[in-house]
Amino acid sequence: MTQELFNKTEIGLTSIIPNVELKGNFLEKIRSVKSEKPFSEYLINFVQNFSKRLLTHPSIRDYPELAVLGYRFRKSVVLKERESFFKNCDTHINRPVGLVFHVAPSNVDSVFLYSGLISFLLGNVNIIRISQNITPQTKLVISILRDLMLCDDDLLNRMIICTYPHESKLSEYLSLNCDLRMVWGGDSTINKFKSIPTPPLGREVNFSNRFSFSVISTDAVSSATDDQVKALANDFYNDSMWFGQQACSSPRAIFWVGCGDWRQASQRFWKEFKAVLKTKEYTQTEGEAMDRFVVSSLIASQNKLALEEHHSILPAVAKQIGHDLGEIDRKYHCGNGLFYEYTIAEFSDLKAKIQKEDQTISFWGFSSKEIDDLVAILPTGCVDRIVPIGKSLDFSHIWDGVDLYDVMVKKTSVVR
């Protein structure tokens, strides 16, 4: 029934890569592409070339987040992953799952390539819908991909990158015809897609809104050298500001842990953080500044926020002493350099404050033993990652508890 809605000639898609209008039964053409085994030489070669081109691009210095992407797909890293991928394959064979329809987020420009390239490496064919709001970063990676794919029809059919309005019928068409739909979304995007069916055998993976925060040892900051605090501020800057604090693993709150003088530690930390903002010449857009003002106002109106300085100064640091991280604080926080600060005596005080949506806890100044204590208090089903500050944005194939190498393959059991 729904299939009939899509008269073959009606559905057309002007993709960015390849730069053509796809019409009619273009999905059949894509599906008929020569099958490749996961991590075949051919696939690895392409990813290598991409990584190399990206890392040697003259503008890469301006976009450290893209350099991280490039490093993530270096040959040595990919080969290592191949090795672990083929471990424990005695009882089954990992084969491509087929056609993967990716819906990329708008806030983190390059994420579509992390899951896209992993899916590509596994031999899947991919259609990636990116945000209509195309940033210079996205433009850069697209230009590199385009160059590399230009003279290879096979490649062009393995990774189609497109954008179209959200309300387009294309979302239904692609959902109905894919084998796996992967939505990196805000909750509203995910809910929209949940109402659009995939085939009965189709898989769905959704990455929803998350919240992340840091825990810092008050005593460790107090007794640290200036250089150590500078390094901490620098790492925290990378974690929080690379994507304008909009990534779901960017810390939005800091818990100062310990009984020492947290105010002094906090002051020392933010002083260095501001110095980093200055040296990195961090700038905000008008829209980001307004968004931060709106959210600060909203939260302040609920008596949940007292900014340390004038509301236009970045970062906006809100001392939340005596308050808990409430629903409003979480729901309306939309990045752009707004940080909540709390203080707790020990990790066990954190237990009641952690919620299902909490994804990454980044830490600084704790021993391995202390991190064990943190792990021990985590409520059931909460928190996906605990990483040192500086590693919040590191992409792993295990994301939000989902192993991409697992969900993007068809495991065929073979009993001989």
Partner 1 sequence: MIKIEDLVDFDAPFSLSGKEKDALFLDSMNTLTRHHSDKCEKYRNLLSGLGFDLSFSKLEDAPYIPVRLFKHIDLMSISRDNIFKILTSSGTSGTAVSRIFLDKENTGIQVKVLKSIVSSFIGKGRKKMLVVDNPNILTRRDTFSARAAGVIGFSVFSKGVIQYTHNQDLEFDYESVANLINESKESGVLIFGFTFLIWKLLVQELINQNMKLDFGKKSFMFHGGGWKKLEEEKVENHLFKSCIRDRCGPMDIHNYYGMVEQTGSIFVECSQGHLHASNFSEVIVRDPINFKPLPPLSEGVIQLLSLLPVSYPGHSILTEDVGYILGKDDCKCGMNGTYFHVTGRLKSAELRGCSDTRAI
Q: Which is nearer to partner 1, 32 or 132 (CB)?
A: 132
What is the distance between the alpha carbons of residues 17 and 130, in angstroms, rounded to a whole number? 11
Q: Which is nearer to partner 1, 42 or 293 (CB)?
A: 293
The answer to whether residue 131 forms part of the interface with partner 1 (CB under 8 A) is: yes
CB of 342 closer than 8 Å to CB of 256 = yes
The single residue among 49, 297, 348, 367 that binds partner 1, judged by CB under 8 A, is 297
The answer to whether residue 249 forms part of the interface with partner 1 (CB under 8 A) is: yes
> Rounded to the nearest whole angstrom, what is the least distance from the CB of residue 395 to partner 1 in the complex?
7
The answer to whether residue 278 forms part of the interface with partner 1 (CB under 8 A) is: no
Say which residue the tokens 């709106």 belong to.
Answer: 294
The single residue among 51, 336, 343, 362 that binds partner 1, judged by CB under 8 A, is 336
What is the distance between the alpha carbons of residues 206 and 186, in angstroms, rounded to a whole number? 10
What is the distance between the alpha carbons of residues 410 and 264, in angstroms, rounded to a whole number? 54
- Please give the residues from 134 up to 153 whose contact with partner 1 meets the rule CB under 8 A: none
41 class by beta-carbon count within 10 Å (0-12 exposed, 13-18 middle, 19+ buried): exposed
Q: Which is nearer to partner 1, 306 or 352 (CB)?
A: 306
The single residue among 107, 137, 198, 238 that binds partner 1, judged by CB under 8 A, is 107
What is the distance between the alpha carbons of residues 43 and 122, in angstroms, rounded to a whole number? 8
The answer to whether residue 174 forms part of the interface with partner 1 (CB under 8 A) is: no
The answer to whether residue 321 forms part of the interface with partner 1 (CB under 8 A) is: no
The single residue among 259, 313, 321, 398 that binds partner 1, judged by CB under 8 A, is 313
Alpha helices by DSSP H, listed for 218-320, are: 218-223, 226-241, 262-279, 286-301
What is the distance between the alpha carbons of residues 402 and 299, in angstroms, rounded to a whole number? 33
Locate 411 and state its tokens.
Answer: 């495991």
The answer to whether residue 270 forms part of the interface with partner 1 (CB under 8 A) is: no
SS3 188: helix
The single residue among 18, 96, 123, 185 that binds partner 1, judged by CB under 8 A, is 185
The answer to whether residue 310 forms part of the interface with partner 1 (CB under 8 A) is: yes
The answer to whether residue 48 forms part of the interface with partner 1 (CB under 8 A) is: no
The answer to whether residue 361 forms part of the interface with partner 1 (CB under 8 A) is: no
The single residue among 173, 207, 262, 347 that binds partner 1, judged by CB under 8 A, is 207
Q: How far is CA 190 from CA 145, 169, 179, 207, 358, in A?
A: 28, 16, 17, 8, 18
Q: Which of 243, 229, 226 is nearest to 63 (CA)?
A: 243
The single residue among 141, 247, 383, 409 that binds partner 1, judged by CB under 8 A, is 247
The single residue among 209, 222, 228, 355 that binds partner 1, judged by CB under 8 A, is 209
- The stretch near partner 1 (CB under 8 A) out of 17-25, 56-64, 183-191, 368-376 is 183-191
Tell me if the bond preceding 388 is cis, omega within 30° of 0: no
What is the distance between the alpha carbons of residues 253 and 258, in angstroms, rounded to a whole number? 16
What is the distance between the alpha carbons of residues 362 and 81, in angstroms, rounded to a whole number? 24
The answer to whether residue 332 forms part of the interface with partner 1 (CB under 8 A) is: yes
The answer to whether residue 246 forms part of the interface with partner 1 (CB under 8 A) is: yes
Locate 373 and state its tokens.
Answer: 């204590």
Question: Which residues contact partner 1 by CB under 8 A?
Answer: 103-108, 111, 114, 131, 133, 184-186, 188-189, 207-210, 243-244, 246-249, 283-291, 293-307, 309-313, 332, 334-336, 393, 395, 399
